[in-house]
């Protein structure tokens, strides 16, 4: 079965779905393909921190209704070490805030908007292949319910994540890959427990890093540093709660992490990854298909939203006037932001975690860095500016 559209989008995560909404508002047709089920993508727990710029973009696109009602605005975070907490006041330092709103909730909103407009969005597809993008006639092939399909399009947006098919379809020698794996991971849980704090707490401890986050007034998202080779079976619930209590304890012994039923549990490895350039002919990569950051800096989904904001602008300019300038400059424009986020995420990650090969010197130097960060207004402002999000171009 043959179809025709202007932009074929592979992947129905935040990048692909938001791109489809932006293109629709510019009068550009698209078809979105996803190899997972709708239920899977709507319930896949991922990041939950939105930069101010991301919130603004969603609102400008008319997609911020539920976000505005249910999102939790945070004016700062706490950095905790040596049993003491230090608040970084984003509002005072930058005039901006962050919003806690789960990635799966953003995805639900984007899917609802796409379907409400009656635009094509296909789940559970298989055998996806992208072809012809080095020439003028890109094609996406896929199967659905046993029927072979072909989409002829002007451009392809590869929004199918790190393990997707779009980036590997680019010929050898075109991309340069930059990658760093970290010698630790996160054991994360979603718990039916009230949050330990109204704002996120990042804790550095001799036993390892911990993060206290939240999803709602009754749901907590909590993490402890673990080994990248750890098995989830090595982390029974009691052990996780014990480590959370130890690593976030205050000197006076008064602080306790509220406990509750563990609803979800998983191990997240730490990786930094960038593919350059983020385009090949008429195939454009966006989001995790082009770059991965450690979650410590809360940049993953925000980078994906920024990527497709730039891509939508470039495609709109092309269809409006025939100009290819923004399309040609898409990769360079995105990568400036991507590498800034990589630097910030690497810094947050290396500063807050315990490293397996640390010497006593390394541990004392890291504490000195934390002392400087929390005692210098200039240093706190630098963290705040990066955390709430650098301005979009």
Task: Please tell me the distance from the alpha carbon of residue 72 to that of residue 124, in angstroms, as a whole number.
Answer: 32
Query: Where does the pLDDT of residue 76 fall: very low under 50, low under 70, confident under 90, or very high at 90 and above?
Result: very high
Where residue 216 falls among pLDDT bands split at 50, 70, 90?
A: confident
CATH number of 182-270+354-388: 3.30.9.10
C-alpha 242/C-alpha 264 separation (Å) is 17
* pLDDT of 87 above 90: yes
pLDDT score, position 374: 98
pLDDT tier at 88, thresholds 50, 70, 90: very high
Residue 192 phi, psi dihedral angles, 5° rounding = -80, 75
Task: Tell me if residue 387 is catalytic.
Answer: yes
The residue with greater pLDDT, 215 or 335, is 335
Find the mean pLDDT for residues 332-340.
98
- Fold (CATH) for 2-75+97-178+271-347: FAD/NAD(P)-binding domain (3.50.50)
Structure tokens, 263: 């609803």
74 is catalytic: yes
Q: State pLDDT tens for residues 381-393.
A: 999 999 999 999 8
Which one of 202, 223, 310, 330 is the catalytic residue?
Answer: 202
Buried b (16+ CB within 10 A) or exposed e, 262-277: beeeebeebbbbbbbb
Cα–Cα distance measured from residue 45 to residue 197, given in angstroms and rounded to the nearest whole number: 21
Mean pLDDT, range 17-26, rounded to an integer:
98
Of 74, 204, 205, 318, the active-site residue reads 74
Catalytic residue among 96, 138, 295, 353: 295
Which of 299, 309, 318, 353 is the catalytic position?
Answer: 299
Q: Radius of gyration over alpha carbons of the chain, in Å?
A: 22
Strand partners, 89: 76
pTM of the model: 0.95
Task: Respond yes or no: is residue 202 known to be catalytic.
Answer: yes
The residue extents of the domains of the chain are 2-75+97-178+271-347, 182-270+354-388
């Amino acid at each position: 079965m043959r179809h025709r559209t202007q932009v074929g989008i592979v992947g129905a995560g935040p990048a692909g779905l938001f791109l489809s909404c932006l293109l629709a508002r510019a009068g550009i047709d698209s078809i979105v393909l996803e190899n997972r089920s709708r239920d899977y993508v709507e319930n896949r727990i991922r990041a939950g921190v939105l930069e101010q710029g991301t919130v603004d973009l969603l609102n400008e696109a008319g997609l911020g209704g539920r976000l505005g009602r249910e999102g939790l605005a945070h004016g700062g975070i706490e950095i905790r070490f040596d049993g003491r907490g230090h608040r970084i006041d984003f509002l005072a330092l930058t005039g901006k805030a962050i919003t806690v709103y789960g990635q799966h909730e953003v995805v639900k909103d984007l899917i609802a908007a796409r379907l409400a407009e009656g635009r094509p969005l296909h789940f559970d597809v298989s055998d996806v292949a992208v072809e012809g993008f080095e020439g003028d006639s890109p094609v996406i092939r896929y199967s659905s319910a046993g029927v072979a399909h072909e989409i002829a399009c002007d451009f392809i947006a590869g929004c199918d994540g790190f393990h997707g098919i779009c980036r590997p379809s680019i010929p050898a020698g075109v991309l340069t890959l930059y990658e760093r794996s970290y010698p630790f991971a996160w054991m994360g849980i979603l718990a039916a427990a009230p949050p330990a704090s109204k704002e996120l707490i990042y804790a550095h401890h001799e036993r390892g890093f911990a993060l206290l986050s939240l999803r709602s007034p009754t749901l907590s998202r909590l993490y402890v540093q673990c080994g990248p080779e750890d098995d989830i079976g090595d982390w029974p619930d009691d052990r996780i709660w014990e480590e959370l209590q130890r690593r976030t304890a205050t000197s006076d012994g008064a602080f306790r992490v509220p406990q509750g039923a563990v609803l979800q549990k998983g191990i997240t490895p730490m990786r930094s990854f960038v593919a350059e350039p983020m385009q090949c002919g008429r195939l454009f990569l966006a989001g995790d298909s082009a770059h991965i950051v450690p979650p410590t800096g809360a940049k993953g989904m925000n980078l994906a939203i920024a990527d497709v904001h730039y891509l939508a602008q470039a495609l709109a300019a092309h269809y409006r006037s025939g100009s290819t300038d923004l399309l040609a400059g898409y990769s360079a424009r995105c990568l400036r932001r991507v590498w800034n986020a990589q630097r910030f995420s690497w810094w947050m990650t290396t500063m807050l975690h315990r490293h397996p090969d640390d010497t006593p010197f390394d541990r004392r130097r890291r504490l000195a860095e934390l002392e400087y960060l929390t005692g210098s207004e200039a240093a706190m402002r630098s963290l705040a500016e990066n955390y709430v999000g650098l301005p979009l171009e």
